[in-house]
Amino acid sequence: MNDKNIIEESALKKLMVGALLLAVWGIVMAVASDSSVILLDGMFNLISAIMTFFSIEILRLVSGKETREYPLGYFAFESLFVFIKGASIMILLLMALYSAIKKLVSGGGEPALGLMTFYVVLAVLGCLVLYAVARRGVKKTGSEILEAEKTAWLINMVVSAAIGVAFGITMLLQQTSMGWIAKYVDQILVILFSIVFIKDPITLMKKGLKELLLAAPQREYAAPFEERILPLKDELGAKNLVLEILKTGRRIWVTVKLDPKEKTIDVDEFMRMREQLRGLARTVYENTDTEIILERAYE
């Protein structure tokens, strides 16, 4: 493993431990306060801890060399992981949504708002610490996994803070004629958050599945290669130059289909050309595998 991978693994281990502690805290407080929204938050953190554990194992796999069984490496495992993570969050949201609607229809419940607010304060602080860990790791490594973790913990922090604000407002309303709202606030929050965040696991599942099916990556990945390589058509002695770009996990595969102007091509010149394009592609994205295919465009 290189230095970046070591830093990335260290950050992921810290995030895993932090997520596990927040998960235990959330589940214990959910039982104590009989709160569905806190249980949902705790289960999110538990899934995060489990998925971060697998992220570490996948990082070790993709950092290794190709094998006879996996001649292109283990990069697809990362895409599979993204799909499974999205599916897990989707299942959790649907279960929480069903449970909240069922409880709401049956008349809600009396919440322990003081206990729930106490949970939120520590949860927000915990999310802030883990966000800072992920942010520092991204600055040092540029890791996509840590970038996703950073975004996830920022959202988690905002959600926890929003839950705290809702509990605070409800505590104030309890002293008024609208106090009856208190027994429904827990279920309403679960339903709202489930609806708002349902698109996130769908996006994760779509992203992972597209990479597994070798679909073309988003333009943000392909455009920089096209901007750097296609203008070299004349310099490379090509009548036509076409790029095929795929992304699997953290590896981008660039295939350059070149139709040479000449009827023959010198082997040494071809090897020089290949190394030139490989070096150029790696200035766009370091973890890139580049190959040239000579292909005549018959008219």
Cβ 289 vs Cβ 252: under 8 Å: yes
- pLDDT over threshold 80, residue 186: no
Half-sphere exposure of 299 (CA within 13 A, CB side): 3
pLDDT at 145: 76
Tokens of 264: 């023959």
pLDDT at 111: 65
d(CA 163, CA 293): 56
Domains of the chain: 3-212 (1.20.1510.10), 219-294 (3.30.70.1350)
Measured from the Cβ of residue 177, the count of other Cβ atoms closer than 10 Å reads: 6
Q: Determine the 3-state secondary structure of 256 from DSSP.
A: strand
Residue 288, helix vs strand vs coil: strand
- Model confidence pLDDT, tens digit, residues 23-40: 999 899 888 877 787 888
How far is it, in rounded angstroms, from Cα 10 to Cα 8? 5
The per-residue pLDDT for 133 is 93
| pLDDT value at residue 179 | 67
Structure tokens belonging to residue 35? 């709160």
* Secondary-structure percent of the chain, ordered helix, strand, coil, rounded to 5: 70, 10, 20
Which tens digits make up the pLDDT trace of 200-225?
A: 889 888 988 998 888 888 888 889 99
